[in-house]
Structure formats: structure tokens, C-alpha cells
């Protein structure tokens, strides 16, 4: 799968209307599902090495409009990974205690530990998205944040964290179908919030905010990917491919054993 078409080059201007929300890349569903299954296996095996190696870490940032499929993506892509090696943090509306600090305070403490994959379900990008759209802080404050975010991510990268950021790009029509499903399917009712409609009513302002966030903060150290999200199977295949490729590019290795296994075996024989 060619991921370069989903990757945002550093320094480029992003116009989201030019990015497809349902492009299937000429791929058939069966083939893509098989690839997804392979990716999930590979991610699990690579994470095992990452954990054993205990040197580097991975941060996956997921952002999207409501009902684009963030939760389902996390569940499927990381479902086979050893739960000890992957953490998921969902960033909700900040608490009063969090609002009394700088916007990165609550985020930094969830930076991944060595050997771990950390997934952010929403992230510090909310501080240039909902905060910008709803004018929660003055413009000069949120405008300064793009550069602060780039510096923050560079700091994490320098400490050994590989960062990938994924925007699940859903169309306004598809979002409507999925929000309606939250209302009509009893098992999904709990997911629905009136706030979803409010956010939807500001769709265009959100698109402008996403364009700036993605364009200004796609860096060599922490690139953004814009993933077509209208079709579930295609979205899962691409996101899993991004995570797999990221882990492969790190190339984690099992560490050298601290003992000579042969000598230890002989010792074990002697004492049993």
C-alpha cells in the first residue's frame, strides 16, 4: 500500500476538500481485509520487540470529527497488542484543575514510556481546534500554539518517541448517517450527545481549523496522515498500515541476553 498519498508534506498548505473521504485506492474489500489482518499480527509482534528492547516508544495521535470512527479504529488496530504494552488516553473537556495550568500539562504526563505504544484519542490538537472554533482563549494565545506544539513534539521525538498523527477524514454526509445510527441503534444511544450537533453545525469552521493544524504541524519528526474514513474496511487497513510501517521503520530488536543461555541451562540441570 502506498502511504505517501495520505502523508502531508511538511510546509504544505492543506485544503481538505481536495482530500478524498472514500477513496478505495482501486483495492477490493477482500484484499484489503486480508492486509488488515496481516498488519494487526505484525503490529503485535513488533510491539513485543519494542517492549523487550525498552529503548524507543511510539505515539499515535488520532483526531477526527465526531462519529468518524476513532474508537472503532483503536479497538481494531490495537486489539491484538499485549495490553501491557499499549495505553490509550482519551482527552475530554479539561477539568478546572487542568485549565489552571498550561495546555500541555495534562498531555505531557501521558507521553509514552520506553517500550510502549501510547494512543491519544483526541489530543493537544483540541487546543487549536475546539478552542479556536469556540473562541475559548484569545486568538493570539491559540495562534502561538502551533509552534509550541511543534516544539513539544520535537522534544518527545528527541527523547526516542516516534510520533504519527492521523486525521480520520469523514464526509459531512457520512457523519450524518453515523450520528443518525447513534440515535436509532439502542446499543449506540449512549454515544450520542447534543454537543455532536453543535460541532456539526460549525463544520466549515472546524475544517479551516483542521487545515491549519495539519498544515502547520506536519513535520519530519511528527507527520500528519489524512486517512479517508467513510469506509470502515479501508480506514482500518490504512491506519494499521501506518502503524505497522512506523514500527518497522524503528526496527526494534530483542536485546542481547544478559546471561549465556547455554551456561544457564547447565546450571539449571545441576540444581534440579
CB–CB of 236/77 below 8 Å?
yes
Q: Which residue number, 74 or 164, has a Cβ lying nearer to ligand ATP? A: 74
R_g over Cα of the chain: 20
| Pairing status of strand 161-169 against strand 224-228 | parallel
Torsion-angle region of residue 87: left (phi > 0), alpha (psi -120 to 50) or beta? beta
The correct pick among 127, 212, 230, 241 for binding ligand ATP (CB under 6 A) is 127
Q: Which residues in the 96-115 window bind ligand ATP by CB under 6 A?
A: none
From 28-36, 121-129, 165-173, 255-263, span contacting ligand ATP (CB under 6 A): 121-129
CA atoms within 13 Å, Cβ hemisphere of 4: 1
Work out whether 93 is an interface residue with ligand ATP (CB under 6 A): yes
What's the min distance (Å) between Cβ of 67 and Mg ion?
8
Report in angstroms the alpha-carbon separations of 35 from 32, 45, 76, 229.
5, 15, 13, 17
Q: Which residue number, 195 or 267, has a Cβ lying nearer to ligand ATP? A: 195
**Grid cell for residue 29:** 474489500
The correct pick among 16, 27, 45, 130 for binding ligand ATP (CB under 6 A) is 130
What's the min distance (Å) between Cβ of 244 and ligand ATP?
24
From 91-99, 165-173, 203-211, 221-229, span contacting ligand ATP (CB under 6 A): 91-99
Work out whether 126 is an interface residue with Mg ion (CB under 5 A): no
Burial class (CB in 10 A: 0-12, 13-18, 19+), 145: buried
Which x/- pattern over 163-202 shows residues binding ligand ATP (rule: CB under 6 A)? Answer: ----------------------------x-x-x-------
Q: Which residues in the 50-69 window bind Mg ion by CB under 5 A?
A: 66
CA dihedral angle for residue 185, residue 190, residue 195, residue 196, rounded to 10 degrees: -40
Q: Which residue number, 36 or 142, has a Cβ lying nearer to ligand ATP? A: 142
Q: Which residues bind Mg ion (CB under 5 A)?
A: 66
Amino acid at each position: 500500500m502506498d502511504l505517501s498519498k495520505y502523508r502531508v508534506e511538511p510546509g504544505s498548505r492543506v485544503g481538505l476538500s481536495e482530500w478524498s473521504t472514500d477513496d478505495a485506492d482501486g483495492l477490493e474489500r477482500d484484499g484489503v481485509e486480508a492486509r488488515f489482518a496481516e498488519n494487526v499480527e505484525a503490529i503485535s509482534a513488533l510491539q513485543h520487540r519494542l517492549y523487550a528492547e525498552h529503548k524507543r516508544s511510539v505515539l499515535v495521535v488520532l483526531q477526527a470529527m465526531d462519529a468518524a470512527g476513532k474508537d472503532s479504529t483503536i479497538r481494531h488496530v490495537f486489539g491484538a497488542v499485549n495490553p501491557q504494552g499499549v495505553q490509550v488516553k482519551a482527552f475530554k473537556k479539561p477539568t478546572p484543575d487542568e485549565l489552571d495550568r498550561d495546555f500541555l500539562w495534562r498531555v505531557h504526563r501521558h507521553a509514552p514510556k520506553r517500550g510502549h505504544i501510547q494512543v491519544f484519542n483526541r489530543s493537544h490538537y483540541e487546543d487549536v481546534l475546539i478552542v479556536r472554533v469556540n473562541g475559548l482563549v484569545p486568538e493570539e494565545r491559540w495562534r502561538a500554539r502551533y509552534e509550541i506544539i511543534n516544539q513539544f513534539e520535537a522534544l518527545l521525538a528527541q527523547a526516542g518517541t516516534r510520533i504519527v498523527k492521523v486525521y480520520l477524514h469523514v464526509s459531512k454526509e457520512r457523519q450524518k448517517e453515523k450520528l443518525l445510527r447513534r440515535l436509532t441503534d439502542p446499543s449506540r444511544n449512549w454515544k450520542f450527545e447534543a454537543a455532536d450537533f453543535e460541532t456539526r453545525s460549525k463544520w466549515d469552521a472546524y475544517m479551516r481549523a483542521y487545515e491549519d493544524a495539519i498544515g502547520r504541524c506536519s513535520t519530519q519528526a511528527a507527520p500528519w496522515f489524512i486517512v479517508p474514513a467513510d469506509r470502515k474496511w479501508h480506514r482500518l487497513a490504512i491506519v494499521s498500515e501506518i502503524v505497522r510501517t512506523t514500527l518497522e521503520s524503528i526496527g526494534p530488536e530483542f536485546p542481547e541476553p544478559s546471561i549465556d543461555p547455554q551456561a544457564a541451562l547447565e546450571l539449571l540441570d545441576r540444581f534440579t
